[in-house]
């Protein structure tokens, strides 16, 4: 029987309509801004979140704990009598994967007839979302839980994440660049290109001068990394920190250069946006290497 439910963290940044359409379970990572804590169930509108950051507010985030993960999984087991495939936020960026793994181990003893597989996506934002989308597609094609999990494990390191930010301050606050680099880079309008590596960590790749060049650099990197997947990508994912025009500009560049027509564009959610700030643009696709 193909009776399993796909779950993921809210860091996958998938649109709510997509989550509802495909009946994806969500494990909420909370965030706090201006002394108020929000979640997937009780969110702050994304535009308001980024406006608060532009006005100087500094949000904080929290990972999901094992008890919260167990509650999500157990509800699915009890209400839907289904197995679970959980696609977790990168272990290189959060402890939420480990929380989900511990919850799955505990519930496997309590419900020995139910199977819970937890995948460390080694992905973030719509990179994690694209991996979820691949799982949804496989499930809807009739693949089993095990077949879907095996494909994800075999291919997750082909899921490329490249992104750029408009303001180095938030990367400095998160320890990704030094204070000096942030100050000097801002002075001369340096825009870093970063990616998520094979260990799921956020790593700087290069720097270019000027916003437009940084957006073009995302597509230039795609040219190098896409390799044998060029004709296999059926959809490209792009996320952004309240800068839809820049995300659309990247999509248009990709259409012109590669001929792709299908895109999913959505906001970078608050959990990740807290560390990248307004103006981040991130590009996700399948390629030969990260």
- Weakest-pLDDT range from 22-36, 162-176, 248-262: 162-176
CA distances from 64 to 12, 18, 68, 73, 266 (A): 14, 22, 6, 13, 23
- Could you give the CA distance from residue 65 to residue 89 in angstroms, rounded to a whole number? 13
What percent of the chain clears pLDDT 70, i.e. is strictly above it? 92
Two structure tokens written together for 124 = 């973030």
Residue 40 contacts residue 26 (beta carbons within 8 Å): yes
How big is the CA angle at 90 (ends 84 and 91), to the nearest 5 degrees? 95
Order across the sheet with 202-209: list the strands.
202-209, 190-196, 159-164, 281-286, 236-240, 263-267
Reported as a pLDDT band with limits 50, 70 and 90, residue 48 is: very high
**pLDDT computed for residue 207 by the predictor:** 85
**pLDDT computed for residue 18 by the predictor:** 98
pLDDT in tens, 85-123: 999 999 999 999 999 999 999 999 999 999 999 999 999
Average pLDDT score over the chain: 93
Answer whether residue 170 shows pLDDT above 90.
Answer: no
**pLDDT computed for residue 117 by the predictor:** 98
Answer whether residue 47 shows pLDDT above 80.
Answer: yes
CA distances from 250 to 44, 106, 121, 211, 289 (A): 27, 44, 25, 12, 20
pLDDT in tens, 207-230: 898 999 999 999 999 999 999 999
**pLDDT computed for residue 172 by the predictor:** 64
- Could you give the CA distance from residue 3 to residue 114 in angstroms, rounded to a whole number? 11
Reported as a pLDDT band with limits 50, 70 and 90, residue 12 is: very high
Two structure tokens written together for 194 = 């970063």
Provide the whole-model pTM. Answer: 0.94
Beta strands in the chain (DSSP E): 4-9, 25-27, 31-33, 36-38, 60-61, 83-88, 116-120, 159-164, 190-196, 202-209, 236-240, 263-267, 281-286
């Amino acid at each position: 029987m193909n009776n399993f439910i796909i779950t993921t963290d809210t860091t996958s940044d998938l649109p709510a309509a997509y989550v509802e359409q495909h009946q994806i379970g969500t494990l909420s990572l909370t965030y706090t801004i201006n002394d108020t804590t929000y979640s997937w169930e009780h969110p702050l509108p994304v535009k308001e979140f980024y406006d608060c950051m532009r006005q100087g507010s500094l949000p904080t985030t929290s990972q999901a704990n094992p008890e919260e993960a167990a509650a999500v999984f157990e509800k699915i087991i009890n209400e839907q009598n289904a197995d679970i495939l959980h696609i977790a936020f990168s272990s290189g960026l959060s402890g939420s994967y480990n929380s989900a793994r511990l919850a799955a181990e505990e519930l496997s003893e309590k419900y020995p007839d139910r199977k819970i597989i937890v995948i460390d996506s080694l992905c973030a934002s719509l990179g994690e979302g694209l991996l979820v989308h691949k799982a949804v597609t496989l499930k809807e094609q009739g693949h089993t839980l095990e077949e879907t999990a095996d494909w994800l494990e075999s291919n997750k390191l082909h899921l490329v994440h490249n992104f750029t930010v408009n303001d180095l301050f938030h990367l400095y606050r998160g320890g990704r660049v030094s204070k000096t680099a942030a100050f000097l880079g801002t002075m001369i309008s340096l825009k870093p290109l970063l990616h998520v590596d094979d260990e799921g960590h956020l790593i700087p790749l290069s720097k270019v001068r000027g916003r437009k060049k940084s957006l073009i650099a995302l597509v230039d990197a795609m040219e190098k990394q896409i390799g044998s997947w060029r004709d296999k990508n059926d959809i490209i994912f792009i996320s952004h920190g309240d800068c839809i025009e820049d995300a659309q500009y990247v999509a248009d560049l990709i259409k012109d250069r590669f001929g792709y027509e299908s895109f999913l564009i959505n906001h970078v959610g608050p959990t990740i946006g807290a560390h990248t700030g307004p103006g981040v643009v991130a590009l996700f696709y399948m390629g030969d290497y990260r």
